[in-house]
């Protein structure tokens, strides 16, 4: 065995190499970036070809190929004697016995690099990882050592769970870990651990009051060092003082005809009875309600009170003396949908995360990738300004420019290789396609794309308390079918049994799968075939669906502004508070009558 330097282009591939499958473009791009940053760390292993005609690679085919792509003219290699099986067994062992670095060891390596003077951005470039991933791993510095030992086994919490864990003191973590420590060979209930350590944070960016009220209520801001760099990350855990200052600010800034209202069980302002909420520009005589949402932000809603009208009466000739009788009105019963609005929002987030993960990791043929790019342009969140009569501006078009830059050479002309093009195409699709139930929704094309690349396999386990709380009684009991879980008399008991059952089994609700149903697919095809895909024929359930156009065919800008200003979670985090509340009330009704109040259930769905 000896170490020598050779031109990587002179090495020959081993026909007996165990790893014959092509690696993914993302994996190759990662290896290429690390080689460009720090070189080939582990020298490939080679042996002399029979007859002395050159050298054959025994281990390190990808390293050699990426070194050539990086333009390296000479690399270190280890020369060994040729085996009688042409290195087939050693190639098998080298690939099978390798174990990836667990996240805890990755964090320890990152901390060592930081101590040596590396910045988070430089580490991210060298490892071809997002800076956000580097910062997430650095949260482990504040985690209890006993938790770290468990995480090193591969059982890691999500970023949303890791943040409250790392923000708590070690004494608090120790107490919660003692209560929720998993048994041997079991996974930890990170959700319960994070929930036990969660402290509500009220952020300075959400405060309407100024420094005078802050000082009056004794509020001191702390800094979230791991928050986004472009946001105000100051916060306080003194929730009572924060809400008190917000309430006083609202009292001092109430508009004329304004009032302060509370939230109802579904997180909406509790307007006066029979009041009609106005989502566009309020008219003369309309009222304004100010309220605090569940994040402590000051919000306002406009509403209109109904005019007082005399009830119409008709004379019943058969009644004594021809007395008036009220006309009977038959109100049809309203039923609750299988999945509440909050559940549909969760499904939209689940689909989007699964679709993006599939676009980043799943094997995709080049022709399918090209078809997906064409499909993405049909998304209802994308339109192109080409000067034609039917074109609009591209929502967020600047975010695509960072991908286009990678295809332009120093001369200002297109200059790229096939692998780079594949990576850029996937990244562009990730930015373009979304299934979230807000203005970024691409519509049915996102579901078609996810179905085409098998994104269903990347959907998370939906058998959680938060999601199952969004299902109606029939849908919940249907989830028991084919499983060793029998429906209980009380909905909450059925839900608890399913949550326990799905800890050992992955559950995806049928409504969460990507493949669109035949009816919606046929409607979409017919509509876009007949009208040529004009923007004004977007599906009614899209982000602008249900908005009435003005007389000139243009959408009301005040309504669009209301939608744009409507708060939503950029991280895709989904809370289950509204669903928990509504199901608790329905559970009580189930315990007494065995049925759900249809009017109440419909009200939940409508909200």
Indicate which CATH number applies to the domain containing 137.
Answer: 1.10.10
Regarding predicted confidence, which is higher, 212 or 230?
Answer: 212
**pLDDT more than 90, % of the chain:** 10
Residues 185 and 123 in one domain: yes
Residues 193 and 124 in one domain: yes
Strand 75-80 with 45-48, pairing? parallel
Residue 472 located in a structural domain: no
Residues 272 and 311 in one domain: yes
Residue 605 located in a structural domain: no
pLDDT at 454: 92
Residue pLDDT, tens place only, 434-460: 988 887 888 898 899 999 999 999 999
Which of the listed residues 329, 348, 367 is the one where a domain comes to its end?
329
Residue 365 located in a structural domain: no
When divided into structural domains, the chain yields a total of 3
Residue 152 located in a structural domain: yes
Residue 70 located in a structural domain: yes
Residues 70 and 110 in one domain: no
Q: Residue 471's closest CA among 449, 495, 493?
A: 495
pLDDT for residue 564 is more than 50:
no
pLDDT classification of 488: cutoffs 50, 70, 90: confident
Residues 112 and 90 in one domain: no
Residues 185 and 116 in one domain: yes
pLDDT at 90: 65
For residue 455, give both structure tokens.
């994104």
Q: What is the mean pLDDT of residues 190-207?
A: 84
Q: Which of 149-163, 182-196, 217-231, 559-573 has the lowest mean pLDDT?
A: 559-573
Residue 582 located in a structural domain: no
Residue 315 located in a structural domain: yes
Residue 263 DSSP symbol:
B
Residue 131: give the domain boundaries: 103-197
CATH number of the domain that residue 75 is part of: 3.90.1530.10
For residue 578, give both structure tokens.
């509204």
pLDDT classification of 513: cutoffs 50, 70, 90: very high
pLDDT at 18: 63
Residue indicated by tokens 């990244």: 427
pLDDT at 309: 63
Which of the listed residues 165, 197, 229 is the one where a domain comes to its end?
197
* Identity of the highest mean pLDDT range in 56-70, 85-99, 318-332, 526-540: 56-70
pLDDT classification of 319: cutoffs 50, 70, 90: low
Residue 224 located in a structural domain: no
Q: Which of 71-80, 317-326, 436-445 has the lowest mean pLDDT?
A: 317-326
Residues 92 and 107 in one domain: no
Residue pLDDT, tens place only, 249-271: 998 998 887 889 988 878 888 88
Q: What is the mean pLDDT of the chain?
A: 76
pLDDT at 385: 61
Question: How far, CA to CA in Å, does 511 sit from each of 198, 350, 425, 494, 508?
Answer: 31, 12, 29, 20, 8
For residue 601, give both structure tokens.
């259930």
Q: What is the mean pLDDT of residues 10-24?
A: 75
Residues 78 and 148 in one domain: no
Which of the listed residues 278, 295, 329 is the one where a domain comes to its end?
329
pLDDT classification of 428: cutoffs 50, 70, 90: confident
Q: Residue 292's closest CA among 222, 223, 245?
A: 245
**Cα-trace Rg, the chain:** 30
pLDDT at 567: 43
């Amino acid at each position: 065995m000896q170490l020598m330097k050779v031109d990587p282009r002179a090495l020959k591939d081993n026909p007996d190499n165990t790893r014959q499958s092509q690696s993914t473009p993302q994996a190759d791009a990662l290896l290429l970036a690390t080689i460009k940053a720090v070189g080939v760390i582990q020298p490939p292993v080679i042996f002399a070809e029979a007859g002395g005609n050159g050298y054959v690679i025994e281990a390190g085919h990808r390293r050699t190929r990426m070194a050539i792509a990086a333009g390296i003219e000479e690399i270190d290699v280890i020369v060994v004697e040729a085996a009688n099986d042409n290195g087939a067994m050693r190639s098998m062992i080298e690939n099978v016995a390798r174990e990836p670095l667990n996240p805890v060891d990755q964090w320890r390596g990152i901390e060592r690099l930081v101590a040596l003077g590396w910045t988070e951005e430089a580490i991210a470039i060298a490892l071809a990882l997002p800076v956000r991933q580097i910062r997430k791993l650095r949260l482990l510095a504040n985690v209890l050592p006993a938790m770290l030992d468990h995480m090193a086994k591969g059982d890691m919490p999500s970023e949303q769970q890791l943040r409250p864990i790392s923000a708590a003191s070690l004494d608090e973590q120790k107490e919660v870990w003692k209560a929720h420590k998993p048994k041997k060979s079991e996974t930890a209930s990170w959700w319960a651990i994070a929930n036990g350590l969660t402290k509500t944070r009220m952020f300075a960016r959400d405060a309407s009051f100024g420094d005078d009220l802050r000082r009056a209520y004794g509020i001191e801001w702390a800094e979230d060092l791991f928050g986004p760099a472009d946001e105000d990350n100051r916060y306080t855990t003194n929730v009572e003082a924060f809400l008190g200052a917000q309430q006083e600010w609202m009292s001092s800034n109430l508009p004329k005809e304004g009032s302060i209202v509370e939230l109802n069980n579904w997180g909406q302002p509790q307007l006066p009875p029979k009041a009609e909420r106005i989502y566009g520009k309020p008219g003369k005589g309309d009222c304004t309600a100010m309220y605090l949402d569940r994040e402590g932000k000051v919000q306002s809603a406009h509403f209109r009170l109904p005019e007082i009208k005399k009830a119409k009466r008709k004379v019943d000739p058969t009644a004594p003396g021809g007395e008036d009788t009220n006309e009977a009105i038959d109100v049809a019963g309203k039923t609750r949908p299988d999945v509440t609005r909050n559940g549909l929002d969760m499904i939209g987030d689940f689909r989007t995360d699964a679709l993006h993960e599939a676009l980043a990791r799943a094997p995709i043929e080049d022709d399918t990738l090209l078809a997906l790019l064409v499909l993405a342009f049909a998304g209802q969140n994308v339109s192109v300004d080409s000067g034609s009569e039917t074109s609009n501006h591209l929502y967020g078009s600047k975010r695509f420019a960072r991908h286009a830059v990678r295809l332009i050479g120093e001369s200002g002309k297109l200059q790229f290789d096939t692998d780079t093009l594949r990576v850029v195409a996937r990244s562009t699709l990730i930015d373009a396609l979304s299934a979230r139930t807000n203005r970024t929704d691409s519509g049915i094309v996102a579901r078609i794309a996810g179905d085409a690349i098998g994104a269903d396999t990347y959907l998370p386990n939906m058998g959680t308390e938060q999601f199952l709380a969004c299902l109606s009684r029939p849908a919940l009991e249907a989830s028991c079918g084919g499983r060793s879980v029998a429906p209980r008399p009380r909905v909450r008991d059925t839900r608890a049994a399913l949550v326990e059952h799905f800890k050992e089994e992955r559950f995806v609700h049928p409504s969460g799968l990507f493949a669109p149903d035949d009816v919606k697919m046929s409607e979409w095809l017919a509509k876009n075939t007949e009208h040529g895909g004009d923007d004004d024929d977007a599906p009614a359930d899209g982000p602008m669906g249900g908005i009435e156009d003005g007389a000139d065919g243009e959408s009301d800008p005040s309504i669009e502004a209301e939608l744009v200003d409507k708060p939503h979670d950029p991280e895709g985090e989904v809370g289950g508070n509204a669903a928990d509340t509504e199901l608790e009330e329905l559970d009580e009704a189930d315990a007494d009558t065995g049925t759900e109040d249809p009017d109440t259930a419909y009200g939940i769905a409508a909200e």
